[in-house]
Structure 1
Amino acid sequence: MRKLALTDEILLNIEKPARYTGGEVNSVMKDTEKVDIRFAMCFPDVYEIGMSHLGIQILYDMFNRREDVWCERVYSPWVDLHKIMKEQQIPLFALESQEPVRKFDFLGITLQYEMCYTNVLQILDLSQIPLHSADRTWEDPIVIGGGPCAYNPEPLAEFFDLFYIGEGETVYDQLLDTYKRCRREGNSRLQFLECAAGIEGIYVPGLYEPSYHEDGTLADFRPLSPHAPAKVKKQAVMAMDEAVYPMNPVVPFIKATQDRVVLEIMRGCIRGCRFCQAGMIYRPTRERSAETLKQYARTMLDNTGHEEICLSSLSSSDYSGLQELVTFLIEEYQGRGINISLPSLRIDAFSLDAMQKVQDIRKSSLTFAPEAGSQRMRNVINKGLTEEDILEGAGQAFAGGWSKVKLYFMLGLPTETEEDMQEIAVLADKVARTYYEIPKEQRHGKCQITASTSFFVPKPFTPFQWASMCPAEEYVRRAAVVKHAFAGQLNRKSLKYNWHDAEVTILEGVFARGDRRVGPVLEEAYRLGCLFDSWTETFHNEPWMQAFENTGVDPDFYTLRSRSEEELFPWDFIEIGVSRTFLRREWELAMKETVTPNCRQQCSGCGASGFGGGVCHEGKSEV
């Protein structure tokens, strides 16, 4: 019988002990004597968040299909257990075997959000693995990072041995086989890292060196080894129907954030919003066939016992087989007590009809993401959504039985004016007015419009990567402008306004845009007690500001400074397919308030088709 890493006494004195016991349905157990590689797959947040992440489920399934590999899972211990493990020197352990992570060959950490970076250091610290790659030996695992934040890996460079740039289904087998060969041949750790650097999509930060101009900007970024390429090319899966997909996903013991079967219907997005990193780094658009997804749905529901199925993508309305797939799911499962979740849909007649059939309208709310209140700002960001589209969709929704709508906006976007800010409240009021314009007998309860604003962060590989941010106090001032505008609206009793934390936004900007010089800030912040910074109840700005002061790093250099057209970015050594020329052209079009047609209307020559399978205006391959 498997022995738990934590005693009964500890388990009884911490929140949600089932986070740490493992043994869930469909979790994989193997004999350690019969595998060559042990891989600990980590999501640096609590169990409930990590268990909802599809990427880890895919890699967990893919690795465990290999007889010579055992992949296990590890998540960040919550603050209560973190304290106990530090005090009692209990090493962090994997869920399946309950054995220390330090015994593993690889520790893979997915990097989804910059504000989880202190949790990355927590994982290394509790695992008793040296924080710095340079201090590790073969007694320690190879620490590898991946995910969207790996598209600017430099703030984390000294903490990772490798970064995997792109989608994990492509060259991981080659990396694992290279590891086995190097260990068999008695190679040093450095020799393995040099071999790994020769695999397309693998970045070994220890084999590169940056240099800087006197003004602090990046002057050069060069390989130190002939094994390290000058450019690292992202990995992308082209044949989606042939890609690995988890037919037996692990079923959590406790309620996860997304406790359901997930069908990934497509990758990429045709829309081209200029603030959106995912819309650029996941190009080109690639779909799974409706027939494949139908089979996935049948198999995964049978294998999990889940009572909900969700369609996952960046923009589900753009999936060409949506009507066929949704019709199938409704006809096949609605009468069997299976809920169907349809996120990321544009609110059109078909979508509303489908949602009426699968949702409890009395409880559910519809979500629109106009991103900006004025048409001028929506043109700047290339949202491709008019006020008429929004109000018409809202009107159809209200006539269909909904009375609750959520609206998502951004503040601090390039060229934003006071009028643009106020227009957020004006648009929300117009949506509410649309509700009161329908006949009373068609209304369903009180109208509730909830508007939320996040603050803009210019992310790498977006047309807005040249933009500056605002100081935290300016973000707060802009939120106050919007709040005041809401108070003056005719339908203000039906309106509610929320906004994001400005201090968190500044930190997100530093680490999204930072270089290697911000790594010491992260380490100092962790030493000062920063942890779970993405959680409101555990975020504290004061130790972060102390960490900047202690390390002599000025956060304003990374957030408030506009970039020149020629400036070399810390992430420019990565090739994502979308060209820098295209991104700069889109930046210039944004300054002219000019909209670029979506990829199905017209190919704009972004370069992503170089990876194969790109989408042009006819919806066919560009190549």
Structure 2
Amino acid sequence: MRRLALSDEILLSIDKPARYIGNEVNAVDKSESFDPEKMIRFCMCFPDVYEIGMSHLGIQILYDMFNKREDVWCERVYSPWPDLDEIMREKKIPLFALESQDPVRSFDFLGITIQYEMCYTNILQILDLSGIALHAADRGEDEPIVIGGGPCTYNPEPIAEFFDLFYIGEGEVAYDELFDLYQEKKRTGMSRRDFLLRASRIEGFYVPQFYRASYHEDGTLASFAPTEDGVPEKVRKRIVMDFSEVSYPDAPIVPYLQATQDRVVLEIQRGCIRGCRFCQAGMIYRPLREKNVERLKRQAEVMLRNTGYDEISLSSLSSSDYSELNELLSFLIQICNEKGINISLPSLRIDAFSLDVMSKVQDVKKSSLTFAAEAGSQRMRDVINKGITEEDILGGALEAFRGGWNKVKLYFMLGLPGENEEDVKDIAHLCQKVAECYYDNIPKEERTGKISITASSSFFVPKPFTPFQWARMDREQEFLDKAHMVKDEVRAMTNQKSIRYTYHDAYISVLEGVLARGDRRVAQAIETAYRKGAIFDAWTEYFDEDRWQESFRECGIDPYFYTARERDTSELLPWDFLDCQVSRDFLIREWKRAKEGIITPNCRQRCSGCGCRVYRGGVCYESQD
């Protein structure tokens, strides 16, 4: 009988005990064949609650890929919800992996996927509950190697002292080299330090302890350089170029309780051609690489058969840009309709083509359509290089209304560089124009009800490796003043009853900005906030603004130093030692074009010389195929 780490008494006393028992459909159990002398134990962690972590495609891909190696057993762990967190601390129960229920501390590696900055205190929760020293410098030979990956590693400095190493790039490429090196460590008795030194010389791996930062009197970074011979000055990202043949799970894990993304996920492409200047993913995952449509057809059939899901979703940053979308959807409609399987199409641009596509896959009751307008005025959409006009938005809305839709969601950002009062008010005006488009063009007898518009604003957070990485960020009161301005303007619209407006938490956005562009000194505040009780900061019910403000004060850190000042392009930035192949010259050029409101064509219209042709593939070389 399988042994569980938690007693029945504990499982019956906590919310959703299925989060902690493992043994899900398609989970990998190598307990019978496990040989500690020959095999590597890797614990894959998503530092948030189970339902969120189980929805992350990257972990599913790496879990499957690692377990295909006979000498690796990869298991999973997620952040215990606060109810179990309290019990584990009280009863001194060590954090455990789901598959074997063994303590995480007994593994060779703890790999943490870092998707968003607001999970940073949960990383410390994972380490603490596992009995692993919070600081890499304090870890002994018998503790796991703690490795971080994911988009937040493109500025790892605020959490650098908590990690032994980071991987910069796409996980499918370099882990075999790391595992081979670790097998050598096991055979030879190589020390932890020597292993990390050797790992730092594998392209894509960054070991923070072998670099030192110094600062000017004004607090800006003066230098950042390696301290050991052979450690690279620049750490270059690694990405998959043969995207059609890359490892992908035929049998993803199916949880026993509903995850946030409870469906088969088919990744159709990676990267984006659009070049939105605020979008980090669109820059760091360049160049766009498509997966062969025949491979996708086979994957879809196999995954649906191996999971029993009744929904399949296409994953990409901009699904409309996949060149074989029509052929793929025709196939999916054919196999899904007969089995009652729903097809989900996120990340579509709202145009005639996309609406035609959606009308084929959605049932008679039309769900709401999402327009990521990002800005209310055309001037600001040009500043951010959104690549859509007001005519595109209203034309898409009209096509949707004629197709039977009457619910629209509009997403905006407030606090964008160069924004003025009119730009802010234009969010309300654009909502009004969408409502007018419905009432002016759809006859009463053809309407399916009143128009319903839900407009929401997030607050702009500049991210590394985007043209806006040098931009200042609004303070929380500036954000709130702009949000209230939009709300007041909506109330003045003739169709105000059809428009609902909401906005994000302003201080959370400011904190995200500190963590996104901070340096190593910020780690002290993260740890202080954690010791004051901060976990699950991404969850509104657990976020405590006062706790963070106290932590910054106690550590002598001014958060506005990292957010509320525009940086000069000559300033050394904490992430400048990383090379994601999108050149600094390109980013500076785009920053200047933003200030002038000049649009840059997308990658299929014209190469903008971002630097990613060095990979010799993807969209950069499409015309040569």
Tell me by how many angstroms 1:361 deviates: 5.0
Partner of 1:428: 431
Deviating 4+ runs (over 6 angstroms):
none
The question of 1:505 aligning with 2:509 is answered yes
**1:72 & 1:580 partners in 2: Cα distance?**
38
Tell me by how many angstroms 1:619 deviates: 4.1
Partner of 2:265: 262
Tell me by how many angstroms 1:440 deviates: 1.8
Partner of 2:22: 22
Partner of 2:567: 563
Partner of 2:500: 496
8 Å contact from structure 1 (residues 94, 101) kept in 2: yes
Partner of 1:188: 191
How do 1:113-128 and structure 2 match up within 5 A? Answer: 113-128=116-131
8 Å contact from structure 1 (residues 578, 608) kept in 2: yes
Q: Letter of the aligned partner of 2:67 in structure 1?
A: N
Tell me by how many angstroms 1:441 deviates: 2.5
1:560-586 CA-partner distances (Å, limit 9, x unpaired): 111011001100111101100000000
The question of 1:160 aligning with 2:163 is answered yes
1:53-76 CA-partner distances (Å, limit 9, x unpaired): 000000000000001100000000
**Percent identity between the aligned chains?**
66
Q: Letter of the aligned partner of 2:295 in structure 1?
A: T
Partner of 1:521: 525
1:223-282 CA-partner distances (Å, limit 9, x unpaired): 011131000010100001110000010001000000100000000000000000000000
Partner of 1:97: 100
**1:592 & 1:368 partners in 2: Cα distance?**
25
Q: Letter of the aligned partner of 2:137 in structure 1?
A: A
Q: Which structure 2 residue ranges, 5 or more long, are not aligned?
A: none
8 Å contact from structure 2 (residues 593, 599) kept in 1: yes
Tell me by how many angstroms 1:511 deviates: 0.5
Look up the SS of the partner of 1:465 in the other structure: coil
Partner of 2:456: 452
Q: Residue 305 of structure 2: which of 302, 306, 318 is its match? A: 302
The question of 1:372 aligning with 2:398 is answered no
Q: Letter of the aligned partner of 2:457 in structure 1?
A: T
**2:364 & 2:149 partners in 1: Cα distance?**
39
Q: Letter of the aligned partner of 2:487 in structure 1?
A: K
How do 1:42-81 and structure 2 match up within 5 A? Answer: 42-81=45-84
Aligned residues: 621
CA 1:507–1:326 in 2, change beyond 3 Å: closer, same or farther? same
The question of 1:474 aligning with 2:487 is answered no
8 Å contact from structure 1 (residues 603, 615) kept in 2: no
8 Å contact from structure 1 (residues 615, 621) kept in 2: no
CA 1:492–1:619 in 2, change beyond 3 Å: closer, same or farther? farther
How do 1:383-462 and structure 2 match up within 5 A? Answer: 383-437=386-440, 438-462=442-466
**1:177 & 1:387 partners in 2: Cα distance?**
54
Partner of 2:581: 577
CA 1:526–1:614 in 2, change beyond 3 Å: closer, same or farther? same
**1:621 & 1:103 partners in 2: Cα distance?**
50
Q: Residue 337 of structure 1: which of 310, 335, 340 is its match? A: 340
Partner of 1:485: 489
Partner of 2:35: 33
Look up the SS of the partner of 2:148 in the other structure: strand
**1:363 & 1:357 partners in 2: Cα distance?**
12
**1:420 & 1:518 partners in 2: Cα distance?**
33
Tell me by how many angstroms 1:615 deviates: 2.3
Look up the SS of the partner of 1:343 in the other structure: coil
**1:265 & 1:461 partners in 2: Cα distance?**
24
- The TM-score with structure 1 as length reference comes to 0.98
1:28-75 CA-partner distances (Å, limit 9, x unpaired): 000332651000000000000000000000000000000110000000
1:90-124 CA-partner distances (Å, limit 9, x unpaired): 10000000010000000000000000000000000
Q: Which structure 1 residue ranges, 5 or more long, are not aligned?
A: none
1:489-532 CA-partner distances (Å, limit 9, x unpaired): 11111100010000100110000000000000000000001110
Q: Residue 554 of structure 1: which of 555, 558, 568 is its match? A: 558
**1:386 & 1:346 partners in 2: Cα distance?**
12
Partner of 1:279: 282
8 Å contact from structure 2 (residues 290, 618) kept in 1: no
1:392-438 CA-partner distances (Å, limit 9, x unpaired): 00000011011101000000000000000000000011111111121
Q: Letter of the aligned partner of 1:117 in structure 2?
A: Y
Q: Letter of the aligned partner of 2:8 in structure 1?
A: D
How large is the RMSD of aligned CA atoms in angstroms? 1.1
CA 1:619–1:445 in 2, change beyond 3 Å: closer, same or farther? farther
Look up the SS of the partner of 1:493 in the other structure: helix
The question of 1:606 aligning with 2:610 is answered yes
Partner of 1:7: 7
1:459-488 CA-partner distances (Å, limit 9, x unpaired): 000000010111111101110001011101
Deviates more, 1:441-450 or 1:203-212: 441-450
**1:429 & 1:532 partners in 2: Cα distance?**
37
Look up the SS of the partner of 1:61 in the other structure: helix
Q: Residue 253 of structure 2: which of 250, 255, 267 is its match? A: 250
8 Å contact from structure 1 (residues 195, 227) kept in 2: no
**1:512 & 1:559 partners in 2: Cα distance?**
9
